[in-house]
Amino acid sequence: MFLKPPPGVINATTAPISRQGTMLIALALLAPFLLYLGTVRSIVSVWNSSETFAHGYVILPISLWLVWRRRENFSLYPPKPWPPALVLLGLLGAGWLAAQLGEVQVVSQYTFVAMFPVAALALFGPRLAGSLTFPLLFLLFAVPFGEIFVGPLIQFTADFTVWAVRATGIPVLRSGTRFELPTGSWSVVEACSGVRYLISSITLGCLYAYLTYRSTARRVLFVGLSVIVPVIANGLRAYMIVMIGHLSGMELATGVDHIIYGWLFFGLVMFVMFWIGSFWREDGATVSTSAPVAVAASIAKAAGTPRRLPAMVAGVLLVCAFWPALALVGERANHNPAPVRLADIAVTAPQTADFADWKPFYMTPDARFHQAYQAGSLPVSLTVLYYRNQNPEKNLISSMNRLSGYEDAWHEVDSAARAETVAGTPVTLHEGILRTPQGALMVWAFKWVGGHYTGSDYVGKLWQAANKAMMRGDDGAAVMLAVPYDNDKERTRAALHRFLADQGAALDQALNATRTH
Residues 183 and 246 sit within 8 Å (Cβ to Cβ): yes
Q: Looking at the predicted structure, is the pLDDT value of residue 218 above 60?
A: yes
* Predicted pLDDT of residue 187: 82
pLDDT tens for 220-266 read: 999 999 999 889 888 888 888 888 888 887 776 555 555 666 667 77
pLDDT tens for 164-213 read: 999 998 998 888 788 888 888 888 877 778 888 899 889 999 999 999 98
* Predicted pLDDT of residue 305: 63
* Predicted pLDDT of residue 243: 87
Q: Which residues contact 492 (CB under 8 A, 6 or more apart)?
A: 378, 442, 483, 484, 485, 486
pLDDT tens for 453-469 read: 999 999 999 999 999 98
Give buried/exposed letters for 40-79 (b at 16+ CB in 10 A, else e).
Answer: bebbeebbeeeebbebbeebeebbeebbeebebbbbbbbb
pLDDT tens for 470-505 read: 999 999 999 999 999 988 899 999 999 999 999 999
Sheet containing strand 184-187, strands side by side: 173-175, 178-181, 184-187
* Predicted pLDDT of residue 3: 43
User: Where in 332-469 does DSSP place strands (E)?
Assistant: 351-352, 367-375, 378-387, 411-422, 425-436, 439-449, 452-454
Q: Tell me the pLDDT band of 10, cut-offs 50, 70 and 90.
A: very low
Residues 170 and 181 sit within 8 Å (Cβ to Cβ): yes
Residues 437 and 413 sit within 8 Å (Cβ to Cβ): no
Q: Looking at the predicted structure, is the pLDDT value of residue 62 above 80?
A: yes
Q: How many CB atoms lie within 10 A of CB 28?
A: 22
Q: Tell me the pLDDT band of 294, cut-offs 50, 70 and 90.
A: very low
Q: Looking at the predicted structure, is the pLDDT value of residue 286 above 60?
A: no
Length of the chain: 517
What average pLDDT does the chain have? 86
Average pLDDT over residues 376-404: 92
Q: CA 106 to CA 145: how far, in whole Å? A: 7
Q: Please state which of the ranges 109-113, 382-386, 490-494 shows the lowest mean pLDDT.
A: 490-494
Q: Please give the residue that has the higher pLDDT: either 137 or 9.
A: 137
* Predicted pLDDT of residue 413: 87
* Predicted pLDDT of residue 255: 57
pLDDT tens for 306-347 read: 678 899 999 999 999 999 999 999 888 888 999 999 999 999
pLDDT tens for 501-517 read: 999 999 999 999 999 87
Cα dist from 205 to 197, 239, 270, whole Å: 12, 25, 9
Residues 101 and 330 sit within 8 Å (Cβ to Cβ): yes
Q: How many CB atoms lie within 10 A of CB 458?
A: 11
* Predicted pLDDT of residue 257: 55
* Predicted pLDDT of residue 261: 64
Q: Please give the residue that has the higher pLDDT: either 36 or 258.
A: 36
pLDDT tens for 358-374 read: 999 999 999 999 999 99
* Predicted pLDDT of residue 259: 62
Q: Tell me the pLDDT band of 8, cut-offs 50, 70 and 90.
A: very low
